Amino acid sequence: MNLADKPTVFSGAQPTGQLTLGNYLGALQNWVAMQEEYNCLFCVVDLHALTVRQDPQALREQIYDLAAVYLACGIDPAKSTIFVQSQVPAHAELAWILSTFTQMGELERMTQYKDKSQRHRTNINAGLFTYPTLMAADILLYGTHKVPVGADQKQHLELSRDVATRFNGAFKPIFQVPDPLIASSGSARVKDLQEPSKKMSKSAESDLAKVMLLDEPKTILKKFKKAVTDSQGVIAYDEEAQPGVANLLNIWCAATNNSLENALEHFSHNMYGKLKVESGEAVNAILAPVQERYRDIIADRGELIKILDNGAEVARQRAEEMMVKVVDVLGLPPRRSL
């Protein structure tokens, strides 16, 4: 099928720390499902990760690791473009240009910036501030129609739309104005196993709170067995009164592809112990094949690098087509082929 026949999807994750079950159910599973209908680009956004100080050796491993996780989850390089952001220089280039179309006030309003600058008080660098212009560049470079992201990225996406509209209005409409696809299930719904009123986050302090994609099956089972519930003793779905039970029910449904109705019927005469064990087992059943593929992929670094080189090559060409238009409308000299 021709590129032009399918709308473009772009998404990315930072290579900082391992992914959780929430990331898998909420993001990666959706990405995998989108590959048929859309022309997808999935990026390891390593330049974004530099806004917080990283250990160089660990960073490089984490970049390959995240790419391996993408593949293990079912991102197929024959269908989608999978690549590392820093290997396509146009991202940084367009980010600079877009920063001149972004107001300080707009960036100052970003809640993630406010939050991160609180948490990293000794390193409030300019990159942390201009981060959303790099994200806008990621998206706008490829004429992206849809961007699957978590609710926490909605504000950044709105900024991308505003910047695209402003640029288009100042010159001519070369940028597609992207629509967010905010996950309505999955990560939005997978909650912390210890504090089920909070979203499951990879930065949670307690290990028991989060299920990592690459956790051993027995660790996963243990975390589920220790999940916090309540003292009501009845399996019903009530997010307010029984957030822990609701979370386990949601996870069981997502992992077994069942409706909530089915879940309530399935567990109708059971105690919490059974719900905990069965949710853990269901999660292990969906993660087992992912973990097995991950182990194969990570063991063959050469092949992984080849896939990423190919992805970067495809992305560079596509990005370059956009940069030709960008420099043209801005009045910069024409691009020489790279």
Active site residue 225: no
**73 contacts ligand TRP (rule: CB under 6 A):** no
Residues whose CB falls within 8 Å of the CB of residue 40, separated by 6 or more in sequence, listed in order: 8, 9, 10, 11, 31, 34, 75, 79, 80, 81
Total interface residues for ligand TRP by CB under 6 A: 14
Residues whose CB falls within 8 Å of the CB of residue 116, separated by 6 or more in sequence, listed in order: 51, 52, 128
SS3 121: coil
Q: Considering the candidates 6, 202, 222, 225, report the single residue annotated as catalytic.
A: 202
Q: For residues 156 and 276, which CB has a smaller minimum distance to ligand TRP in the complex? A: 156
Report the nearest approach of ligand TRP to the CB of residue 156 (Å): 6
Residues whose CB falls within 8 Å of the CB of residue 10, separated by 6 or more in sequence, listed in order: 40, 41, 42, 43, 138, 139, 142, 144, 147, 178
For ligand TRP, what does the binding mask look like between residues 174 and 213, x meaning CB under 6 A? Answer: ----------------------------------------
Strand partners, 146: 9, 179
**48 contacts ligand TRP (rule: CB under 6 A):** yes
Sole binder of ligand TRP in the list 95, 149, 263, 315 (CB under 6 A): 149
**67 contacts ligand TRP (rule: CB under 6 A):** no
**139 contacts ligand TRP (rule: CB under 6 A):** yes
**Window contacting ligand TRP (CB under 6 A); options: 9-17, 114-122, 289-297, 303-311:** 9-17
Provide the total of helices (H) and of strands (E) in the chain, helices listed first. 14, 5
DSSP state, 238?
-
The CA distance from 137 to 213, in Å, is 29
Residues that bind ligand TRP (CB under 6 A): 10-14, 45, 48, 135, 138-139, 147, 149, 153, 156
